[in-house]
Amino acid sequence: MSTPNVTIYDTTLRDGTQGTGISFSVLDKIRVAEKLDAFGVHYIEGGFPGSNPKDAEFFKEVKKRTWKQARITAFGATRRGKMKVEDDPQVRILLEAETPAVTIVGKTWPLQVVEVLGVTCEENLAMIADTVAYLKKHGREVLYDAEHFFDSYRDDPAYSLATLKAAHEAGASLVVLCDTNGGSLPEFIAQATREVIAAVGPGVGIHTHNDSGLGVANALIAIREGAVQVQGTINGYGERVGNCDLISVIANLQLKMGLNVARDLTLLRELSLFVDELANVPHNIRAPFVGTAAFTHKGGQHVHAVQKLASSYEHVDPLLVGNERNITISDMSGQSNVIVKAEKLGFKLSKGAPEVASILTEVKRLESEGYEFEAAEGSFELLLRKQLGQHRPLFELQEYHCSYRRSGEGRWNKCEATVKLHVNGTPEYTVAEGDGPVNALDGALRKALRPFFPKIDEIQLDDYKVRIINGQHGTAARTRVLIDSTDGQESWGTVGVSDNIIEASWLALVDSFEFRLGRS
């Protein structure tokens, strides 16, 4: 059974922020909400207005803005036990938020009703009904989140359904089935969703967690059984291992199940990256649909097949979700990898040409020594230039030297580097100090090259990564250094490998300058 109208309910700004390491400022929350609204998300849950000053400020700010589609939603709970709903301060705060929609969470499991809330099962039903009816009377759309629904339904299906009926009959537009512990399997989600719809009616949503790695699968099976709303978070943020990932849900609903839930699906990757950036979280390169590796091909046979028939190793066209195909170079590469990658970098090569074979041989030789070109396109382009006879070194190195001195009492320390080289036949001998040996080498090399290549000042080192390749050799292990650089317009990676970390760093540093300045 498929459903023609499915709404997307985002709780990144509330449930998502319960994840370890996830935090947003008020401005961040506003920017995320605006991005979600522009994308076409139907409901944006901003938080619990009574829980902290940040959420309270968010709800004040959203009143000042016009929203294209999204219904900004406040989150709260049912009234307290043995208290009139109009006297409950947290219910009052929900109204004061003045959002068009309110989501309230209630207990579904008799075990929690008695042990956690400390009220009778009958009082809990009244708490649900009273709160929904009160908010509805004040003009709010009310969604009811049935906490721990699936655990409760296994234990006591009759009472679990009674809580949903209490919310539904009091005026809730949706009753949302929550797999709060994230432990249910798809077949049980399907069965329970089907039985709830038969008992309560079609206004059912699904809210899943990913503790068993099934958050997305459980959400999709519920939709297949007739649920009309999916609640989740962007990139799967959330408590413990996270919530259902709306990025994957949206892509699957639209591309695999034929349900139109996004205005422009090509903005999906951009949305995912945007939220990661504001949350200060490294993007998951292996994220389905939107990760950098989602459409990356490394094996030579795969690349050859993709060139002929993309669908042979791609389940959807990457452009549909704003992503792109990426061909990497490694010791697993074949001629197809080299040709496709070279073409992307502006080099036209023909299959079977001797230069293709020589490039491939050199790649495999370097990879056997510890090089890796997947994240070092700058170094790979330099390799192409060298093999094709199109490379002219910036300088002829005579020697370089690094030293580190520290006072015995630790009152001072100093790193110094000297570089001797010839540039266009002109000898250069420069010295620089730095925070560390690589920083000092960078400074000395820039001094030497600046008179000849003034554009070197446009190049900035963004990141520096070190990896020990064969740690079993202890202090004699080989070291791989990856440097990320930018000139403000373009970013590139370069790599160096050596038994000595200083030399590995020097090789990656020189590649970074030669890549950019060799193009000028």
Positions annotated as catalytic residues are 302
Print burial letters for 27-47: b (CB count within 10 Å at least 16), e (below 16). ebbbebbbbbbbbbbbbbbbb
Q: Which residue has the tokens 């704003």?
A: 322
Do 241 and 211 contact (CB within 8 A), yes or no?
Answer: yes
Q: Is 289 left (phi over 0), alpha (psi -120 to 50) or beta?
A: left
**C-alpha torsion sign, points 340, 341, 346, 347:** negative
Site of tokens 């001072």: 412
Q: Match 């935090």 to its residue by tokens.
A: 23
CA angle 98, 99, 104 (to 5 degrees): 110
For β-strands 413-423 and 174-179, DSSP reports them as unpaired
Chain centroid to Cα 208, Å, comes to: 19
- As a whole number of angstroms, the distance between CA 149 and CA 205 comes to 12
Alpha carbon 484 to its chain centroid, in Å, reads 20
First-to-last C-alpha distance (Å) of the chain: 60
Residue 188 CB neighbours (<10 A): 16
| Beta strands in 2-140, from DSSP E residues, in sequence order | 7-10, 43-47, 71-77, 101-107
